[in-house]
């Protein structure tokens, strides 16, 4: 049993270092827009997403936005948004620049103006920020996954961006 765990650990590490496309690291293809990486659409569907960075090369300090529509199908009382920003360094290793968890209800107020509980319905939102000056030039994958109370996935979305100096 210990040998099996060691082999599985090595496979996981090697696939991570080589940029393997397992479910967690599935990358969008090209710099064209938002990729829906949701396992299911039972709770939330995100549509009509637009951004001033889709298909563009961005620079540190540049302001950006994401606009979209969320169709919430079941009442949400609480949740977590897991946000990651990874950079494929010289095609050898994925470096994580952000790996943070945020209160979904707090983010909802910022993005939609609505606080939990979020009743089923259509919500229009916009998220504004600026590109961190800590990011190196190159390709990045921005990914967010929402979870509800019992750790069930609500939604998943990701996009690829190119940062230049």
pLDDT in tens, 22-65: 344 445 555 578 899 999 899 999 999 999 888 888 999 999 99
pLDDT in tens, 81-132: 999 999 987 777 888 989 999 999 999 999 999 999 999 999 999 999 998 8
pLDDT at 150: 83
The span from the CA of 69 to the CA of 51, in Å, is: 13
pLDDT at 33: 84
Q: How confident is the model at residue 151 (pLDDT cuts 50, 70, 90)?
A: confident
Question: Residue 40 maps to which CATH number?
Answer: 2.70.220.10
pLDDT in tens, 4-18: 333 333 333 333 343
pLDDT at 50: 92
Most distant CA pair in the chain, distance: 52
pLDDT at 69: 94
Domain of residue 68, residue span: 2-163
Cα torsion 10, 36, 28, 60: sign: negative
The span from the CA of 154 to the CA of 137, in Å, is: 32
Number of domains in the chain: 1
Q: What pTM does this model have?
A: 0.76
Q: Contact at 8 Å (CB) between 153 and 145?
A: yes
């Amino acid at each position: 049993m210990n040998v099996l765990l060691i082999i599985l650990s090595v496979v996981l590490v090697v696939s991570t270092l080589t940029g393997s496309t397992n479910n967690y690291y599935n990358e969008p293809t090209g710099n064209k827009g938002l990729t829906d990486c949701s396992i299911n659409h039972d709770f939330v569907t995100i549509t009509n997403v637009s951004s001033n960075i889709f298909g563009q090369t961005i620079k540190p300090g540049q302001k950006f936005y994401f606009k979209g529509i969320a169709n919430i199908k079941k009442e949400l009382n609480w949740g977590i948004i897991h946000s990651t920003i990874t950079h494929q360094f010289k095609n050898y290793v994925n470096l994580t620049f952000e790996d943070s968890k945020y209160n979904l209800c707090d983010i909802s107020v910022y993005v939609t103006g609505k606080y939990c509980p979020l009743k089923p319905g259509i919500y229009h939102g916009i998220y504004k920020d600026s590109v961190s000056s800590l990011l190196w030039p190159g390709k990045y994958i921005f990914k967010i996954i929402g979870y509800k109370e019992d750790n069930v996935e609500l939604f998943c979305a990701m996009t690829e961006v190119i940062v230049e100096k």
